[in-house]
Amino acid sequence: MAAEYALRMGDGKRVFMSKEKIKEEAIAGAGHAVDYGSIPDLSCDEIDKIIEICIMPGKSVSVEIGMEVPVTHDIGTIRLDGDQGNSGVGIPSSRLIGMMMHERAFGADTMELGHIDYSYKAVKPIVFQECQAMEVAQQNMIVPLFYGAMPNMGLYYTPDGPYENPGDLLKAFKLDEAFASMEKSAAHLTRDIVWIMQKLYASGADGINLDTTGAAGDADAYAALNAVKALREEFPDMYIEVGMAGENIIGMHGMLEFEGTVLAGLWPHQQVALAEKAGANVFGPVVNTNTSRSFPWNLARAITFIKECSKVSKIPLHVDVGMGVGGIPMFETPPFDAVTRASKALVEMTGVDGL
Partner 1 sequence: MPIAHIMASGMTGLRAGGDLVARMELSKSMRIKEAKEYVAKKVGVDPIDLSDEYAMRDVREELGLGVITSVPNAPKGIAAKMNIEKVLDTKIKCCDTFRNQLKK
132: contact with partner 1 by CB under 8 A? no
| Shortest Å distance, C-beta 178 to partner 1 | 37
32: contact with partner 1 by CB under 8 A? no
Stretch that binds partner 1, among 178-186, 212-220, 263-271, 318-326 (CB under 8 A): 318-326
| Shortest Å distance, C-beta 237 to partner 1 | 5
65: contact with partner 1 by CB under 8 A? yes
282: contact with partner 1 by CB under 8 A? yes
Residue 198: φ, ψ to 5°: -60, -40
Q: Where are the beta strands (DSSP E) in the chain?
A: 4-8, 14-18, 111-113, 145-149, 207-213, 239-244, 257-258, 261-262, 282-284
| Shortest Å distance, C-beta 141 to partner 1 | 6
Of the residues 194, 287, 339, 349, which one makes contact with partner 1 according to CB under 8 A: 339
201: contact with partner 1 by CB under 8 A? yes
Of the residues 91, 126, 142, 312, which one makes contact with partner 1 according to CB under 8 A: 142
Other Cβ atoms closer than 10 A to 191: 15
Q: 70 vs 254, which CB is nearer to partner 1? A: 70
Residues 228, 232, 238, 240: what is their CA dihedral angle, to the nearest 10 degrees? 30
Q: 119 vs 281, which CB is nearer to partner 1? A: 281
212: contact with partner 1 by CB under 8 A? no
Task: Kindly tell me the burial class for residue 261, based on how many C-beta atoms sit within 10 Å of its own C-beta (0-12, 13-18, 19 or more).
Answer: middle
| Shortest Å distance, C-beta 44 to partner 1 | 25
Q: 92 vs 314, which CB is nearer to partner 1? A: 314
Q: Answer whether 54's CB lies under 8 Å from 341's CB.
A: yes
Of the residues 2, 57, 173, 314, which one makes contact with partner 1 according to CB under 8 A: 314
Which residue in 267, 268, 300, 343 sits closest to 43, CA to CA? Answer: 300
Cβ neighbours of residue 141 under 8 Å, at least 6 residues apart? 99, 100, 103, 111
Q: Answer whether 146's CB lies under 8 Å from 206's CB.
A: yes
354: contact with partner 1 by CB under 8 A? yes
Which residue in 349, 310, 317, 300 sits closest to 35, CA to CA? Answer: 300
Q: Answer whether 67's CB lies under 8 Å from 348's CB.
A: yes
The CA distance from 213 to 327, in Å, is: 19
# of chain residues touching partner 1 (CB under 8 A): 62
Of the residues 39, 51, 123, 141, which one makes contact with partner 1 according to CB under 8 A: 141
205: contact with partner 1 by CB under 8 A? yes
**Contact residues: partner 1, CB under 8 A:** 60-63, 65-73, 79, 103-104, 106-110, 138-145, 201-207, 237-239, 241, 281-282, 314-316, 321-323, 328, 333-334, 336, 339-340, 343-344, 347, 351-355
